[in-house]
Amino acid sequence: MIQVVIVDDHQLVIDGLNALLKDEKDITVVAQANNGQDGLRYIQSLRPDIVLLDIDMPVMNGLVTAEKIKDTIPEVKVIMLSLHRESSILKHVIKLGVEGYVMKSAARLELIQAIYDVSQGKKYFGTDVALALSEKENKVASVKLIHDDSNLLATLSVREREVLIHIAEGHTNKEIAELLYVSQRTIDAHRASIMKKLNVKNVVGLVRFALRMGLLE
């Protein structure tokens, strides 16, 4: 019996995965969690065969969680589930040593196949992943990935974090100024400071950073 732990911050996704797997006589879901921190506790306690792990989660994202799993209990196999197709993220995931990566848009049979392949010691990276890795990376929207993200976040002041969240939620500088009862010039300065500290060049980079760090609901 292949024991599986599901870690995803969307309960609908967890419910869907449970429904997908319940008819597989050789697969059983032994635990589920809505963030990486809780998921890691279950994984360390239960030592499942496979973890189905989302990337964008609050408290501790999937990339950090995968790294901790591989550092502490490398016998546990990890299949990342995500909508991300950026080659930079995919390459980072592969470098972490995970055994599989399946797009959330994939068909049920692909996920089942991935679980069986990985349980047998194989790697599984779907066709969509292979295509994404072959695409030219978008240098304009490239983001410095995970290892230093926590340290980068720590460089932001409380107000800058607040502004970052509002930017990532799609608010303009003028709207943020009105929400925080400050001048737009002040928000302009905060925005410039945030982008410099996080080493990103555009709003896309800010949004991705906020998602990876679990700053958005």
Tens digits of residue pLDDT in 39-75: 999 999 999 999 999 988 888 888 899 999 999 999 9
- Domain span at residue 7 reads 2-134
Same domain, 71 and 174: no
Length of the chain equals 217
Least confident range of 4-8, 47-51, 184-188, 212-216? 212-216
Q: What is the CATH number of the domain that holds 205?
A: 1.10.10.10
The whole-number pLDDT of residue 129 equals 67
User: Looking at 134, 163, 181, which one is the last position of a domain?
Assistant: 134
The whole-number pLDDT of residue 137 equals 43
Asked whether residue 139 is assigned to any structural domain, the reply reads: no
Asked whether residue 118 is assigned to any structural domain, the reply reads: yes
The whole-number pLDDT of residue 143 equals 36
Same domain, 129 and 152: no
Q: What is the CATH number of the domain that holds 50?
A: 3.40.50.2300
User: Looking at 67, 99, 134, which one is the last position of a domain?
Assistant: 134
Same domain, 123 and 41: yes
Asked whether residue 141 is assigned to any structural domain, the reply reads: no
- Give the contacts of 20 (CB within 8 A, at least 6 positions apart): 108, 111, 112
Structure confidence by residue, pLDDT tens digits, 129-163? 666 555 544 433 333 444 466 778 889 998 999 99
User: Looking at 108, 134, 160, which one is the last position of a domain?
Assistant: 134
Which residue is associated with the tokens 């555009």? Answer: 202
pTM for the predicted model, two decimal places: 0.60
- Name the helix (H) or strand (E) containing 113: helix 108-119
Using alpha carbons, select from 83, 78, 57, 58 the residue that is nearest to residue 68.
Answer: 78
CA–CA distance, 51 with 78 (Å, rounded to integer): 5
Same domain, 27 and 67: yes
At 174 the three-state DSSP class reads: helix
Same domain, 112 and 180: no
CA–CA distance, 217 with 136 (Å, rounded to integer): 31
pLDDT band at 127 (very low <50, low <70, confident <90, very high): low
Number of domains, the chain: 2
Same domain, 16 and 115: yes
